[in-house]
Amino acid sequence: MNIHNFSAGPSILPPEVLEQASKAILNFENTGLSLIEISHRTPRFVEIMNEARMLALELLKLNPNEYTALFLQGGASLEFARLAYNFLDKESIAGYVNSGTWANNAQAEAAKIGNVLEVASSKSNQYQTLPEVKNVDEKLKYLHLTSNNTIYGTQFKNFPETNVPLICDMSSDIFSREINFNQFDLIYACAQKNVGTAGVNLVVIKNTFLQQATADIPNILSYKVHAQKESMYHTPAVFSVYVSYLTLKWMKDKGCIKSLERHNLAKATLIYSEIDRNSLFYGSAKTDDRSLMNAVFYLQDENLEQKFDELCNLEGISGLKGHRTVGGYRASIYNAMPISSVQHLVQVMQKFERMILK
Ligand code: PMP
């Protein structure tokens, strides 16, 4: 049976990427060796690392003379702390927009390192809307946002216009839609949604901002050290970088972000239309703030959950359960998700409605 993978992350990867990645495990580019048993200093791997870094900038339409892309380890959670170690101290204040669980976590980590000001928050309405960000104090060291709220399913359409350096956690929507990436001084994303597989983070830094980073921290935390060493300060997560490289190439072959965005919009329209139409379900996030990547929805009658889960199982729908902290359902429809899987999910929701209302 064909399984339709709606997992929020680690999540669906293009079949072409999976196929090439498996080949590389057994026999990497006909070397007779596995990719995961050769040195990361092998010229071909160094080339792959550099190509992947360049491809990331190319897809984001960022000038490689102005921005540096890095593949680092530790998950997006490490970037919560690393960015604060680099740009914040006990004498300075950073602004945080609290738009969801991950945004809240990023803020809490930074508060251990320096001073944090919560510029806006939607915590009081359970993150079902996006907070309005206004009057950003120019003295802030940086302003941190989370572009897509993976758990509650909200997504910023626009970003604040400010002279304060903008830092954005794009873990769950990078490469999914065309925005002006030049407005950010630092972008980071764990790979396990739109970039590749877990084990690596993409970090993109404006060079002028990088210069402001402190050098007075351990090397492993220092963006300057990682940039000087071109992401090879220590052994990179070779396989994860390779999967990212393949995925970035796949995105370029698919027509880059513009074409992926069109595809993502079509999928989101399909699933949200069904959530709104189907009398058994409702969407939780405010309509205008809905995410194109994670559609969060609930059953009107919680008692039907077991029945719907059974039907999903029978119909080959996997990973649809909502985050453990919020329950319900979440259709994660990242770049690699084909529209046919979303169509299938819609049909299953319709079938369920017929079963219940018969
Ligand atoms: N930020 C966002 C927006 C996320 O969705 C996640 C994970 N789902 C994280 C941060 C944390 O990433 P990691 O598990 O790689 O630390």
Domain ranges of the chain: 15-253, 255-357
CA 254 and chain centroid, separation: 19
Distances (CA, A) of 122 to 130, 140, 158: 6, 21, 16
Q: Which of the residues 141, 185, 193, 206 is marked catalytic?
A: 193
Q: What was the pLDDT predicted at 1? A: 85
CATH superfamily to which 255-357 belongs: Aspartate Aminotransferase, domain 1 (3.90.1150.10)
Tell the CATH topology of 15-253: Aspartate Aminotransferase; domain 2 (3.40.640)
How many A from CA of 101 to the centre of ligand 1? 9
Pocket test for ligand 1, best of 172, 195, 201, 324 (most atoms within 8 A of CB): 172
Same fold, 15-253 and 255-357: no
Using a 6 Å cutoff on CB, does residue 77 contact ligand 1? yes
Q: Give the integer Cα–Cα distance in Å for 47 and 223.
A: 21
Using a 6 Å cutoff on CB, does residue 156 contact ligand 1? no
How many A from CA of 354 to the centre of ligand 1? 37
User: Longest C-alpha distance within the chain, in Å?
Assistant: 68
How many A from CA of 75 to the centre of ligand 1? 7
- DSSP output for 279-310: TTEEE-S-GGGB-SSEEEEEESSGGGHHHHHH
Pocket test for ligand 1, best of 7, 71, 77 (most atoms within 8 A of CB): 77
Q: Find residue 321's DSSP bridge partners.
A: 329
How many A from CA of 102 to the centre of ligand 1? 6
pLDDT in tens, 71-100: 999 999 999 999 999 999 999 999 999 999
102 carries an active-site annotation: yes
Distances (CA, A) of 276 to 20, 91, 282, 285: 39, 49, 6, 12
Digitized pLDDT (tens) for each residue of the chain, 358 residues in all: 899 999 999 999 999 999 999 999 999 999 999 999 999 999 999 999 999 999 999 999 999 999 999 999 999 999 999 999 999 999 999 999 999 999 999 999 999 999 999 999 999 999 999 999 999 999 999 999 999 999 999 999 999 999 999 999 999 999 999 999 999 999 999 999 999 999 999 999 999 999 999 999 999 999 999 999 999 999 999 999 999 999 999 999 999 999 999 999 999 999 999 999 999 999 999 999 999 999 999 999 999 999 999 999 999 999 999 999 999 999 999 999 999 999 999 999 999 999 999 8
- Say if residue 10 is preceded by a cis peptide, omega within 30 of 0: yes
**Cβ count near 302 (within 10 Å):** 10
